[in-house]
Structure 1
Amino acid sequence: MLLAIDAGNTNLVFALVDDGDIKARWRIATDPRRTADEYAVWLHQLLELEGYQRGDIAMVIIGTVVPRALHNLEVLSEKYFGVKPLVAGQGEAAWPIELDVPEPESVGADRALNAMGAHARHGGDLVVIDFGTATTFDVVDFSGTYKGGIIAPGIILSLDALVSAAAKLPRIAIAAPADESVVGRTTETQMLIGVYWGYVAMIEGLVARLKAEIGRPVTVIATGGLAVLFAKHTDAFDVIEPDLTIQGLALLAAGSSR
């Protein structure tokens, strides 16, 4: 069984994958100071709760955009699972897709993995929108080549910046507004309208521009924890794929083991 680890700026996702099927997944806040021993205590308890044992894991693959977190994850794999992990984009797990940009080494592992997963599942020309710490828009052509994209501040990051910079604004939870009115009657509803509907407008506007520039039929795929929050109030997405990065890791691991 494969243990796939997606280390993002905000959260790490650990997923058990068996023959391409995700059997279990767990999430923990990203902290580069967390040791391999701390990961092991937490993860072993969760494995047992799901009915799995440490020996069930025969392969580990790590995809990370947090370089400082990599070492302890590698130690976790070698010390507690007895396997040398694959690292997405390196060595045996080098990218099997073309990154057609001037600085391919600067493409985040999550974006390359999303491109792989999206192309394998859907084909054709694609736009992948990932709602994470940043909101990224990635363009993948019909051949599976990564062509570039867009990076925008994530919605939680935007809201945190707003609250931090304005002393009298309260901290609010991210949620879909109760109705579609864009005239807020309280400070809290005005903030929610600005963040939520402003984000919807950004998504729809950027997707429209990308489609016009690509000039061919495009499938728009949304992933990341907040994708479902926006799916209710926009028709910009064709597909929701909540586990796209993990699916990309599984594909990369499968290709590396041949």
Structure 2
Amino acid sequence: MMLLVDAGNTRIKWRIVAERVLLASGSLPGAQVAELEAQWRSYGLTRAVLSCVASAAIQACLAEMLARLGVAAHWLHPERLNYGIHNLYDTPGQLGADRYAALIAAARLKLGHSVVVSVGTATTVDMLSMNHEFLGGVIIPGPDLMRAALLNGTGQIENRMRARDASPFHDAARAAPDLQAWPRDTDTAVAMGIGLAQAGAVQAVCERMPCTPDQPLWLILTGGARGALRDWLTIHPHGGAQVQLVEIEDLVLEGLAWVALELASLECGALEQSEQEGSNQA
């Protein structure tokens, strides 16, 4: 059985699969990483594929835990050309492992020109060409991080919002965004500002995609806070292309599953070659 782990900035998500069949899954805050050993122990795991953008301490804890469980760990590291992705980053290894895994999954969908938007602690907006070239992308604070920055970095806004027990961004923003209306209270002003900032980043990236009217632009939305952004998107790509929206809850874990399958295939191929060489020598 294979363990897939997405250790993000805030939470750790995991799946246990056998031949692409989901057997178990879970999610918990990174601070509770030590609890995972007891949850995984009963499954008789042999392999793990991991993406980690969490702290070095959490990565070390996961590594030690897997070693105690006797699980061989493969940590995903971005490369120039692998898993069907041509990574055009100036320094390929600087790309986050989570973004890399999401791009791998997006490429396997074989949709065409795509913009992969992951909304969580941070929001990432990445461009993937129809030839599976990672053209680049942007990183901005996620909705809740933007809101926290306003609360912690201002005086009057903080006081007015907390005094009124303001809702989190994704509740206020999803109430019914009316981009033609003027915000006339602090909660709405903050929610609309965050929504427009998030959507504006997506719009700006979409405008840079090399689309034509006969080639749709696929907008792939993922991440735990994606619902905060969905209703704010009014995308008008360059070239007049139509936009097709796809939502996938855990694109990173989907990408790790494809990596696991490819590693298993390579291992089987190496084993068959070894057996063939042994047969020839006999």
Task: Indicate the residue corresponding to 1:15 in structure 2.
Answer: 15
1:44-83 correspondence to structure 2 within 5 Å: 44=40, 53-55=42-44, 57-68=45-56, 69-80=58-69, 82-83=70-71
SS of residue matched to 1:180: coil
Aligned equivalents of 2:217, 2:133: Cα separation in 1: 14
User: C-alpha deviations, 1:103-140, integer Å up to 9, x for none?
Assistant: 11100001111110001023422110111221111111
Count of equivalent residues: 241
State TM-score, norm by structure 2.
0.76
Q: Percent identity?
A: 25
Task: Indicate the residue corresponding to 1:238 in structure 2.
Answer: 245
Q: CA deviation at 1:231?
A: 2.3
Task: Indicate the residue corresponding to 2:99 in structure 1.
Answer: 111
Match of 2:37 among 37, 40, 46: 40
Q: CA deviation at 1:239?
A: 0.3
Change (3 A) 1:200 1:143: closer
Query: Contact 2:122 / 2:141 at 8 angstroms: preserved in 1?
Result: yes
Query: Contact 1:117 / 1:245 at 8 angstroms: preserved in 2?
Result: yes
> CA RMSD, aligned part only?
2.5
1:119-134 correspondence to structure 2 within 5 Å: 119-134=107-122
Aligned equivalents of 2:77, 2:174: Cα separation in 1: 40
Query: Contact 1:124 / 1:141 at 8 angstroms: preserved in 2?
Result: yes
User: C-alpha deviations, 1:24-72, integer Å up to 9, x for none?
Assistant: 32111123xx665x4313x24xx8xxxxx322x2321111112502221
Query: Contact 1:223 / 1:242 at 8 angstroms: preserved in 2?
Result: yes
Q: Does 1:160 align with 2:158?
A: no
Task: Indicate the residue corresponding to 2:188 in structure 1.
Answer: 189
Amino acid at match of 1:210: R
Name the larger-Rg structure.
2
Amino acid at match of 1:10: T
Amino acid at match of 1:255: E
Aligned equivalents of 1:190, 1:147: Cα separation in 2: 34
User: C-alpha deviations, 1:211-236, integer Å up to 9, x for none?
Assistant: 3x455542110110122333244354
Q: CA deviation at 1:77?
A: 1.4
Match of 2:257 among 216, 230, 250: 250
Aligned equivalents of 1:226, 1:35: Cα separation in 2: 21
Aligned equivalents of 1:177, 1:244: Cα separation in 2: 23
Aligned equivalents of 1:127, 1:8: Cα separation in 2: 20
Amino acid at match of 2:247: I
Task: Indicate the residue corresponding to 1:6 in structure 2.
Answer: 6
Amino acid at match of 1:39: L
SS of residue matched to 1:146: strand
Aligned equivalents of 1:39, 1:89: Cα separation in 2: 23
Q: Does 1:209 align with 2:207?
A: yes
Amino acid at match of 1:149: G
SS of residue matched to 2:208: helix
Change (3 A) 1:124 1:208: closer
SS of residue matched to 1:85: strand
Amino acid at match of 1:129: V
Please list every run of 5 or more consecutive structure 2 residues that lacks an aligned counterpart in the other structure. Answer: 236-243, 266-282
Amino acid at match of 2:246: V
State TM-score, norm by structure 1.
0.82
Task: Indicate the residue corresponding to 2:226 in structure 1.
Answer: 227
